[in-house]
Amino acid sequence: MGKIYNRKFLFVIATVITCIVIAVIIRLCFAQRIVRMSISPTELYVGEKIYYSDSTRNADTWLWEFGDGNTSSQRTGNYTFENAGKYMVRLTVDNSLEQRLLVTVRQKSNDYGSDGLVKMKAPSTALQGEIVSFRGYGPSKEWRWQFGESGIVDSREQNPLYTYSMPGTYEVQLTTENTQYPIRHTIEILPQYTDNDSTDVLVLVGNDIREHLQAIVDGKPFNVHYNYILKTYLCNDPDIAVTVNNNKKNDFYSYCQGLKIIARKKTIIDEVFVDMGDDLNNKCVMQLMVTQHERFSE
């Protein structure tokens, strides 16, 4: 009896362990993955490099599209834009998962003005584990950067890169032979994205605008959907620029009229991306970037 009982007990234990293992495998196989792309800086001048990387879980392949016709299949790397403009960089992971980020490239001006002051350019926010770009401008030849995390001089380069290991608020100090006191800048490091992060609000705005543009194409009441977008997101400015398929441009009113008259019932609005401009407090969309294609004739 004792042996039979022991065998039954071992069988039950083995069954439970097997079920747990199967459940874990199923969860790993079917868990939704989130693309964890990083680009720094997202605002730069012509000729300067962006540094890109991806830490998506269990990723095997990458396709970076920089919005100017060039691509890369590396997980990490750097890239230089040759012309000023706004570029929607897209990362496709394993041919199925996508994420986009807007990069603004400006025409390069003088490194420093006639005042001869040493200046620092750095983002006000960044992500934990993200490569952050810092730039120093001015006539100095010696640069000493303290990023506020280690308590020591972290870099002596003019334009260093740094990665914060912990979230928090840090004071960045730049000292040169031309400055009496350090130049100071505050940066907030946000926790790295997790699987439970909510959808980016700009994505929700873009999706809402896309639905109303598609309604115009489909012959729904023009004024209802046009005025909804105009009042809700564009601050009643009908001259907002709309860039179509990264190529042609119209003001918002003319674009919507084109959807109503020319593209009526034969166009699919694929995606809409919004640009809120450089002012973090801005509540108005400054530019729309639309991807669309024509329906196949049936």
Distances (CA, A) of 285 to 229, 232, 234: 10, 10, 5
Structure tokens at 244: 């179509």
State the Cα angle at 40 between 35 and 43, rounded to 5°: 120
Q: What pLDDT does residue 38 have?
A: 87
Handedness of CA 215, 216, 222, 224 (dihedral sign): positive
> What backbone torsions phi and psi does residue 69 show, to the nearest 5 degrees?
100, -10
Residue 160 has pLDDT above 80, yes or no: yes
Residue 109: name the closest of 19, 40, 45, 27 by CA: 45
Q: What pLDDT does residue 298 have?
A: 43
Termini Cα distance of the chain? 74
Angle between helix 201-217 and 222-232 (nearest 10):
160
- Per DSSP bridges, beta strands 43-45 and 97-106 are parallel
**pTM, entire model:** 0.45
Q: Give yes or no for a contact between 89 and 101, defined as CB atoms under 8 angstroms apart.
A: yes
Average pLDDT, the chain: 84
Across the range 269-296, mean pLDDT stands at 83
CATH 3.90.1170.50 fits 34-109, yes or no: no
- Whole-number percent of the chain with pLDDT over 70: 82
Q: What is the pLDDT of residues 181-224, one digit of tens each?
A: 999 999 999 887 554 444 467 888 899 999 999 999 999 999 99
Residues of the chain with CATH 2.60.40.10: 34-109, 112-197
**What does the alpha-carbon distance between residue 172 and residue 174 come to, in Å, rounded to a whole number?**
7
The architecture of the domain spanning 112-197 is Sandwich (2.60)
Higher-pLDDT residue of 64 and 7 is: 64
The per-residue b/e assignment along 207-228, b for 16 or more CB within 10 angstroms, e otherwise, is: ebbbebbbbbbeeeeeeebbee
Residue 24 has pLDDT above 60, yes or no: no
Residue 115 has pLDDT above 70, yes or no: no
Q: What pLDDT does residue 215 have?
A: 95
Q: What is the pLDDT of residues 55-113, one digit of tens each?
A: 888 889 999 999 988 999 999 999 999 888 889 899 999 998 888 888 988 877 655 55
Q: Give yes or no for a contact between 77 and 39, defined as CB atoms under 8 angstroms apart.
A: no
Q: Which runs of consecutive H residues, i.e. helices, occur in the chain?
A: 2-30, 201-217, 222-232, 252-261
Across the range 35-62, mean pLDDT stands at 88
Q: What pLDDT does residue 16 have?
A: 64
Residue 263 has pLDDT above 90, yes or no: no
Beta-bridged to residue 105, according to DSSP, are 44, 85
Q: What pLDDT does residue 195 have?
A: 45
3-state secondary structure at position 284: coil
Q: Give yes or no for a contact between 38 and 75, defined as CB atoms under 8 angstroms apart.
A: no
Q: What is the pLDDT of residues 121-155, one digit of tens each?
A: 898 888 888 888 899 988 888 999 999 999 999 99
Higher-pLDDT residue of 122 and 279 is: 122
